[in-house]
Amino acid sequence: MRVRNKPWAADLIANHPEKIVESGQQLKGKWNSRFPKEQPIFIEVGTGKGQFIINMAKKYPQYNFIGIEIQKTVIAIALKKALEEEIPNLQLLYADGANLTDLFEDGEVSKVFLNFSDPWPKTRHEKRRLTFKSFLKVYKQILIAHGTVEFKTDNQGLFEYSLVSLNNFGMTFDNVFLDLHHSPENEDNVETEYEHKFSLKGQPIFKLVAHF
Protein backbone atom coordinates (compact mmCIF):
# COMPACT_ATOMS: atom_id res chain seq x y z
CA MET A 1 0.00 0.00 0.00
CA ARG A 2 1.46 3.31 -1.06
CA VAL A 3 -0.07 6.57 0.04
CA ARG A 4 1.13 10.10 -0.54
CA ASN A 5 2.67 11.80 2.45
CA LYS A 6 -0.06 13.82 4.16
CA PRO A 7 1.01 16.92 6.09
CA TRP A 8 -1.69 16.42 8.75
CA ALA A 9 -0.46 12.90 9.63
CA ALA A 10 2.44 13.88 11.90
CA ASP A 11 0.30 16.42 13.78
CA LEU A 12 -2.56 13.99 14.34
CA ILE A 13 -0.14 11.38 15.69
CA ALA A 14 1.60 13.94 17.95
CA ASN A 15 -1.77 15.07 19.31
CA HIS A 16 -2.95 11.60 20.33
CA PRO A 17 -0.31 10.00 22.54
CA GLU A 18 -3.12 8.22 24.40
CA LYS A 19 -3.99 6.14 21.32
CA ILE A 20 -0.77 5.81 19.32
CA VAL A 21 2.76 4.96 20.41
CA GLU A 22 5.78 6.23 18.47
CA SER A 23 8.63 4.91 20.61
CA GLY A 24 7.45 1.50 21.66
CA GLN A 25 10.78 0.42 23.19
CA GLN A 26 9.81 2.15 26.45
CA LEU A 27 6.73 -0.05 26.73
CA LYS A 28 8.54 -3.36 26.28
CA GLY A 29 7.10 -5.71 28.90
CA LYS A 30 4.54 -3.08 29.99
CA TRP A 31 2.06 -2.97 27.14
CA ASN A 32 -0.86 -3.89 29.35
CA SER A 33 -0.35 -0.56 31.16
CA ARG A 34 -1.68 1.14 28.01
CA PHE A 35 -5.08 -0.51 28.49
CA PRO A 36 -7.75 -0.22 31.20
CA LYS A 37 -7.80 -4.02 31.63
CA GLU A 38 -4.92 -6.45 31.87
CA GLN A 39 -5.78 -9.15 29.33
CA PRO A 40 -4.17 -11.14 26.49
CA ILE A 41 -2.52 -8.99 23.81
CA PHE A 42 -3.15 -9.63 20.10
CA ILE A 43 -1.12 -7.72 17.50
CA GLU A 44 -1.47 -7.14 13.76
CA VAL A 45 1.75 -6.49 11.84
CA GLY A 46 1.06 -4.28 8.81
CA THR A 47 -2.28 -3.01 10.02
CA GLY A 48 -2.80 -0.61 7.08
CA LYS A 49 -5.75 1.72 7.49
CA GLY A 50 -6.97 -0.22 10.52
CA GLN A 51 -10.31 -1.71 9.51
CA PHE A 52 -9.47 -5.21 10.80
CA ILE A 53 -7.89 -4.25 14.12
CA ILE A 54 -10.62 -1.70 14.93
CA ASN A 55 -13.43 -4.18 14.25
CA MET A 56 -11.61 -7.01 16.07
CA ALA A 57 -11.19 -4.79 19.15
CA LYS A 58 -14.90 -3.96 19.09
CA LYS A 59 -15.90 -7.60 18.59
CA TYR A 60 -13.57 -9.04 21.25
CA PRO A 61 -13.43 -6.68 24.27
CA GLN A 62 -11.85 -9.52 26.29
CA TYR A 63 -8.52 -9.02 24.46
CA ASN A 64 -6.20 -6.05 24.04
CA PHE A 65 -5.30 -5.25 20.42
CA ILE A 66 -2.30 -3.40 18.98
CA GLY A 67 -2.15 -2.45 15.28
CA ILE A 68 1.42 -2.01 14.04
CA GLU A 69 2.25 -0.16 10.83
CA ILE A 70 5.50 1.04 9.29
CA GLN A 71 4.08 3.88 7.15
CA LYS A 72 3.30 7.06 9.04
CA THR A 73 0.56 8.39 6.79
CA VAL A 74 -1.12 4.99 6.66
CA ILE A 75 -1.22 4.60 10.45
CA ALA A 76 -2.43 8.19 10.75
CA ILE A 77 -5.45 7.18 8.64
CA ALA A 78 -6.03 4.22 10.98
CA LEU A 79 -5.71 6.58 13.95
CA LYS A 80 -8.29 8.96 12.53
CA LYS A 81 -10.73 6.07 12.19
CA ALA A 82 -9.92 4.67 15.65
CA LEU A 83 -10.64 8.06 17.26
CA GLU A 84 -14.19 8.15 15.90
CA GLU A 85 -15.27 5.75 18.65
CA GLU A 86 -14.31 4.89 22.20
CA ILE A 87 -12.36 1.61 21.85
CA PRO A 88 -10.48 1.16 25.14
CA ASN A 89 -8.88 -2.18 24.16
CA LEU A 90 -7.18 -0.77 21.04
CA GLN A 91 -3.76 0.85 20.66
CA LEU A 92 -1.75 1.71 17.55
CA LEU A 93 2.01 1.47 17.18
CA TYR A 94 4.08 3.22 14.53
CA ALA A 95 6.97 0.78 14.09
CA ASP A 96 8.71 -1.79 11.91
CA GLY A 97 7.57 -5.37 12.50
CA ALA A 98 11.16 -6.53 12.00
CA ASN A 99 12.01 -4.98 15.39
CA LEU A 100 9.29 -6.62 17.46
CA THR A 101 11.76 -8.07 19.98
CA ASP A 102 12.80 -4.49 20.89
CA LEU A 103 9.16 -3.60 21.43
CA PHE A 104 7.73 -6.64 23.22
CA GLU A 105 9.04 -8.82 26.02
CA ASP A 106 9.34 -12.58 25.46
CA GLY A 107 5.87 -14.10 25.81
CA GLU A 108 4.11 -10.72 26.04
CA VAL A 109 1.89 -11.37 23.00
CA SER A 110 -0.79 -14.06 22.66
CA LYS A 111 -1.48 -13.90 18.93
CA VAL A 112 0.02 -12.37 15.77
CA PHE A 113 -2.19 -11.44 12.81
CA LEU A 114 -0.76 -10.86 9.34
CA ASN A 115 -3.24 -9.66 6.75
CA PHE A 116 -2.56 -9.11 3.06
CA SER A 117 1.14 -8.57 3.70
CA ASP A 118 3.18 -7.21 0.81
CA PRO A 119 3.97 -10.23 -1.44
CA TRP A 120 7.54 -9.24 -2.45
CA PRO A 121 7.40 -11.71 -5.37
CA LYS A 122 11.05 -11.42 -6.42
CA THR A 123 13.28 -14.09 -4.90
CA ARG A 124 15.89 -11.50 -3.95
CA HIS A 125 13.23 -9.80 -1.76
CA GLU A 126 12.31 -12.99 0.13
CA LYS A 127 13.74 -11.59 3.37
CA ARG A 128 11.17 -8.79 3.36
CA ARG A 129 8.17 -11.15 3.39
CA LEU A 130 6.51 -11.13 6.81
CA THR A 131 6.47 -14.95 6.81
CA PHE A 132 10.23 -15.26 6.13
CA LYS A 133 12.05 -17.28 8.81
CA SER A 134 13.66 -14.22 10.46
CA PHE A 135 10.17 -12.80 11.09
CA LEU A 136 8.91 -16.19 12.37
CA LYS A 137 11.80 -16.25 14.84
CA VAL A 138 10.77 -12.83 16.12
CA TYR A 139 7.10 -13.82 16.44
CA LYS A 140 8.08 -16.99 18.31
CA GLN A 141 10.14 -15.00 20.80
CA ILE A 142 7.46 -12.45 21.68
CA LEU A 143 4.59 -14.96 21.67
CA ILE A 144 3.44 -17.09 24.60
CA ALA A 145 4.41 -20.78 24.41
CA HIS A 146 2.61 -22.38 21.45
CA GLY A 147 1.45 -18.90 20.40
CA THR A 148 -0.61 -18.54 17.25
CA VAL A 149 -0.04 -16.82 13.92
CA GLU A 150 -3.07 -16.11 11.70
CA PHE A 151 -2.42 -15.07 8.12
CA LYS A 152 -4.83 -14.05 5.34
CA THR A 153 -4.01 -13.13 1.75
CA ASP A 154 -5.40 -13.17 -1.77
CA ASN A 155 -1.90 -13.84 -3.13
CA GLN A 156 -1.49 -17.54 -3.97
CA GLY A 157 2.27 -17.26 -4.41
CA LEU A 158 2.79 -15.68 -0.98
CA PHE A 159 0.36 -18.15 0.59
CA GLU A 160 2.19 -21.20 -0.81
CA TYR A 161 5.52 -19.69 0.20
CA SER A 162 4.18 -19.11 3.72
CA LEU A 163 2.89 -22.67 4.09
CA VAL A 164 6.36 -23.96 3.25
CA SER A 165 8.15 -21.36 5.38
CA LEU A 166 6.03 -22.04 8.49
CA ASN A 167 6.27 -25.79 7.95
CA ASN A 168 10.05 -25.65 7.60
CA PHE A 169 10.20 -23.61 10.79
CA GLY A 170 8.48 -26.50 12.58
CA MET A 171 5.14 -24.80 13.14
CA THR A 172 1.93 -26.82 13.45
CA PHE A 173 -1.06 -25.93 11.30
CA ASP A 174 -4.41 -25.66 13.07
CA ASN A 175 -6.33 -24.77 9.92
CA VAL A 176 -5.86 -23.93 6.26
CA PHE A 177 -8.61 -22.37 4.11
CA LEU A 178 -8.25 -22.08 0.35
CA ASP A 179 -11.52 -20.16 -0.07
CA LEU A 180 -12.26 -18.55 3.27
CA HIS A 181 -15.39 -16.72 2.19
CA HIS A 182 -17.04 -19.97 1.11
CA SER A 183 -16.08 -21.90 4.23
CA PRO A 184 -17.84 -22.22 7.61
CA GLU A 185 -14.99 -20.12 9.11
CA ASN A 186 -16.41 -17.11 7.26
CA GLU A 187 -19.17 -16.71 9.84
CA ASP A 188 -16.74 -15.22 12.35
CA ASN A 189 -14.49 -13.54 9.79
CA VAL A 190 -13.56 -9.88 10.27
CA GLU A 191 -12.63 -8.36 6.91
CA THR A 192 -9.64 -6.16 6.22
CA GLU A 193 -9.63 -3.33 3.66
CA TYR A 194 -7.68 -5.37 1.10
CA GLU A 195 -9.82 -8.42 1.72
CA HIS A 196 -12.96 -6.44 0.99
CA LYS A 197 -11.49 -5.04 -2.20
CA PHE A 198 -10.12 -8.32 -3.54
CA SER A 199 -13.13 -10.45 -2.67
CA LEU A 200 -15.41 -8.01 -4.53
CA LYS A 201 -13.37 -8.85 -7.60
CA GLY A 202 -14.20 -12.51 -7.00
CA GLN A 203 -10.71 -13.54 -5.87
CA PRO A 204 -10.57 -16.37 -3.30
CA ILE A 205 -9.13 -15.47 0.09
CA PHE A 206 -6.58 -17.83 1.65
CA LYS A 207 -6.14 -18.19 5.39
CA LEU A 208 -3.88 -20.20 7.66
CA VAL A 209 -3.80 -20.59 11.41
CA ALA A 210 -0.64 -22.11 12.88
CA HIS A 211 1.20 -22.27 16.20
CA PHE A 212 4.79 -22.68 17.31
- Which residue numbers are catalytic? 118
Return the residue of 83, 98, 144, 209 that touches ligand SAH, per CB under 6 A: 98
Helix orientation angle between 72-82 and 51-59, rounded to the nearest 10 degrees: 30
> Least separation, in Å, of the C-beta of 2 and ligand SAH?
8
Q: Interface mask (CB under 6 A) for ligand SAH, residues 119-138, using x and -?
A: --------------------
Number of residues that bind ligand SAH (CB under 6 A): 22
Which residue lies nearer to ligand SAH by CB, 73 or 146?
Answer: 73
Q: Decide if 131 contacts 114 (C-beta within 8 A).
A: yes
Residue 117 lies near ligand SAH (rule: CB under 6 A):
yes
> Least separation, in Å, of the C-beta of 206 and ligand SAH?
13
Which residue lies nearer to ligand SAH by CB, 76 or 171?
Answer: 76
> Least separation, in Å, of the C-beta of 29 and ligand SAH?
20
Which residue lies nearer to ligand SAH by CB, 157 or 172?
Answer: 157
Distance (Å, rounded) from C-alpha 151 to C-alpha 208? 5
Return the residue of 76, 90, 97, 210 that touches ligand SAH, per CB under 6 A: 97
Residue 45 lies near ligand SAH (rule: CB under 6 A):
yes
Distance (Å, rounded) from C-alpha 143 to C-alpha 13? 27
> Least separation, in Å, of the C-beta of 131 and ligand SAH?
12
Residue 139 lies near ligand SAH (rule: CB under 6 A):
no
Residue 118 lies near ligand SAH (rule: CB under 6 A):
yes
Binding site for ligand SAH (CB under 6 A): 1, 45-48, 52, 68-71, 74, 96-98, 115-118, 192-195
